[in-house]
Structures are given as C-alpha cells and as structure tokens.
Structure 1
Amino acid sequence: MSVSIKTAREIELMRKAGQLLEQVHDELERFVRPGISTLDIDRYGEKLIRDLGCVPNFLNYNGYPASICVSVNDEVVHGIPNKHHILKDGDIVSLDAGLIYQGYHSDAARTHAVGTISAEARKLIEVTRQSFFEGIKFARAGNHLYEISAAIGAYAESFGYGVVRDLVGHGIGTHLHEDPQIPNFPQKRRGIRLQPGMTLAIEPMINQGRADVAWLDDDWTVVTEDESLSAHYENTVLITDGEPEILTLSR
C-alpha cells in the first residue's frame, strides 16, 4: 500500500477543489424538489462544475455515464440519472459528486429530503451524517485508520441500522481513488498510522434495514437487498498536526 502525503502546495489545490465542490453541493441542495428528474440533477450539477472551471471526475470514470451519482430511496450509491425517474414528495435522494481542480480531486456526498419525508427517513439521514463526525474524531495524526472505521460502524449500528460492507471510503488526490481503503465498520487490524498530509474520502453508507446490497443489471446502481432506505454522507478530509480539516465542508 502506498499512501500519498500531500505537500503544502498540493494541500492548497485540494483545499480549493473541496471549496468548489461544497459550492456545487449547496446549489444542488437548493435545486432538489418534487417533480424534477434525476437527469435534471445531473445536468445541473455538471453545469455548476464546468462553470467553476472544473471537470466532473465521475463522468466516464470506469464507464460511469454521468457527472452526478443520483441514488433514490433504496439505491445506496451509483444511481444512474435518467429522464424517467421523477422525484416525488417523501423520497430521499443521495447525491455523490466530485470535481477536478488543476489536477486534484475532491469527493463528497449528501442525502437530501425531497419535500416532506417521514420521521424515520429523517433520522436515517441524520444518523448517517453524524456517524461521519463520530468517525473523524479519530482522524488525527498518530491514530490508526481503522479507529475511524470502528467509530462509524459502532455509532450507526447502535441505532439498529445496517452498515454497508461491500463499499468503502478511500484515499484521494491526483486520482479519485487512492490508497488506503477506508471501511465503515470494525476491522481485526488497526490499519495504517495516520500522518499529516494524508487526504481521505470518508463516506458512511447506512441502510435502514440490513447491510446486504445488490447490483442492478446496469452494473452500477447498488440497492439494499431488503429494499429499505439508504443514506450516504461523505467528505474529503485532510489529516493535520491537530484537528482534521474537512475540505468539502466549511460550516
């Protein structure tokens, strides 16, 4: 495993990439509403990214055909946008997006309510988001990587939720996916020791029901096997000499 340590200049570029992606997510959150298609979200998201002078890093990545992964209700991740899938009141929608700024990647995901959603759905979104913050309490130099994993999993499972095991977070930098892989559940080993300059995409994927997932025939869309709701929350994080810096979240 070769985990890259970013230089001060690289960190500045990744910080800018993260700030720009946060702007995209903020605009997408305002755009989501009943009656629009998942393709509308993708087209708007790509325009936002390109208008910032950046490139959508998901488009054509390993053949993925869109710029924004739009996953609705029981779709965990990698939903392919299309004009026929119309959002309706009560849905939840996960938007996973990334961009390239001067050769450096950022990656972040958010799950949003569409109109008025159930209390159970809102709780799932909130717990998924909080599980990320429980994890990054351990994202400090000198700690071990899998302390993050264990904290995410323990928090989500304390609510009876299923923590997806087939998909994990990852390192990020000049490539969208770099070492190390970052599970969202406990590991038998402690993992690598964290060092300042590491940049990590930490992304809990949490199911309301069981952890089991399946892939649809499009070979991309991942769904919950039991058809329960799923939520996704992700940020690009910098390991520092002190508190971790969330590059895709400023508030």
Structure 2
Amino acid sequence: MKHEVLAIRHVYFEDLGNLELVLGDRGHFVRYLDVGRGRIDAPNPLDPSLMVVLGGPIGAYDDASYPHLAPLLAMLEKRLSAGLPTLGICLGSQLIARALGAKVYPAEQKELGWQPLTLTEAGRASPLRHLEAEGVATPVFHWHGDTFDLPEGATHLASTPACRNQAFTWGEHVLALQCHPEVLANRFENWLVAYPGDIAQSGTSAPRLREDTARFGPGLERAARAMFGEWLDQFDFTRQR
C-alpha cells in the first residue's frame, strides 16, 4: 500500500532531496504543494501519512508580506495537535516552532556552509546519531539567517556555534531541523545560482561552497538516509488515514 506524503515547497529546488529517495524505497507517494500555486489551505492536514514543510528564503514571522503563512500555520497547528508525523526543514522547522508558540527571529549572523552538529545526549539517543559516527561528526549543510526559541515541551537535539537550536523533537511525532540534511550534491548548483546575494554577504564564495559540497555531500547523503530511515521506522503508517 502506498502512503501519501505531503511536502510544502517554497522553492522548486529546495525539495525533499535525499529524503525523497528514502520515501521512494519504502513505497511512499510524494505530493508537492508548491506555494503560489492554488490555495495553501486546500489540503486537509490530517490526510497525509507524513507532512513535511521545506525551506525557503522568507521569514517565518513575515505574515504581512507572505499571506500564505497564516493558513500554513493553521494546518501545522491542526496536524501537531492530532499527533501525526510531521517534519520541518529550515523554514519548516521555524514554522513548526512558531506553531508550537515559540518565537522566531533574525539570528545574529547568517549561517551558510558546511558545519558539523554538536549533538546533545538526547540527540545521540535519537536518529540524529547517524550524523556522528565513532565520535566524528558528519558536516551538515546550513543556509539560514533566522533562528527560534525552543518550544515549550520540546527536546533539544543539536546545536552549532552559530545556532544553538539546530534540531528538536516535540512528542514522538515531530522533528524539526534547522539544517539541510536532505541536500543532494548533484543538485546543489541551483542554490549557488539562485542566492548569490546571500553568498556575498556571508563571507564565503560559490567556488568554496561547490568544493565543500563535493567533499562532504556524499558522506552526508549516506548518514542522512540512515537518519531519515530510522525516524520513519517509529511510525506505523498502516494505522493512519
């Protein structure tokens, strides 16, 4: 039986990436809802087996400029309250934090490039443990300028020097990741072409990011597949709608 995954996508190349490969191997059908095409509040957020909110270059708090945020937050609130599997990546993690009542705001500095996570004790006991093999952390890709406070009742999983709240769980059904473990090295060039302003402001360069992605991308892809797979293993999708 195929189980539908609903992925909310803000930018066409910021897709499920590595996670989509894991889902495909398990027979899940992915349906993308692209922001800007149709009504964001049309789907019933309780219908999909898994709901994923992906990244994008906007602020999770900028409702005045982006009116789709209010109905998207309402979808998240309904799904989180129902205890259904939900994943947020980058902007998606910020929206989950906001839906849980936490504050989202600009960080002191933009985090852009490859940097390993420092896992908490809870993080090492979670699927994120795959990002740290034999005491050596796998570099993970980062591209964000905002951060969030940890929601009440959440479990802190990981941090970096530039961003304390890199990952958290809330209950057994929610995982929020500020970083981008889903990124695929062979699709990375789109990021460099689309966001030259961010790159210039960050102090790095397109050649450096391209080189680091070629160097660290394959290792992250292997670790992230194991991480996503273990996270999915905890859910009995046959019992969901």
- Is the pair's TM-score, using the shorter chain for normalization, greater than 0.5? no
**TM-score (normalizing by structure 2):** 0.31
Higher RCO by CA contacts (8 Å cutoff, separation 6 or greater):
1
Q: Higher strand share goes to which structure?
A: 2
Q: Which has the higher helix share?
A: 2
